[in-house]
């Protein structure tokens, strides 16, 4: 019974430790850690910005196509009136 409790406690500690370890904190003079964290944060920021830019470009292209269709209709109406 003691072995079972010991194993159970150890498994719970390892599982919770791995879940908590998501945010990496660097010590004061650990340059390698700080550089690695800066690089990973920068990559995440750039991915977020890239996704937003793609969406913005898609929306702009859709709006440009709509305006193009409206202009074609107006031109055709003016040609038909003459």
In this prediction the pTM is 0.41
Q: What is the model's pLDDT at position 22?
A: 56
d(C-alpha 50, C-alpha 44), whole Å: 10
Q: What is the model's pLDDT at position 5?
A: 79
Q: What is the model's pLDDT at position 69?
A: 92
Q: Which residue has the tokens 């908590």?
A: 20
Q: Flag whether pLDDT at 19 surpasses 70.
A: no
d(C-alpha 40, C-alpha 22), whole Å: 13
């Amino acid at each position: 019974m003691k072995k079972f409790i010991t194993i159970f406690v150890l498994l719970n500690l390892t599982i919770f430790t791995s879940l908590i370890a998501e945010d990496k904190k660097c010590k004061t003079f650990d340059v390698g850690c700080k550089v690695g964290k800066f690089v990973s944060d920068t990559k995440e920021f750039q991915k977020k910005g890239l996704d937003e830019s793609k969406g913005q470009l898609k929306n702009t292209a859709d709006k440009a196509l709509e305006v193009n269709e409206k202009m074609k209709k107006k031109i055709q109406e003016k040609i038909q009136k003459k």
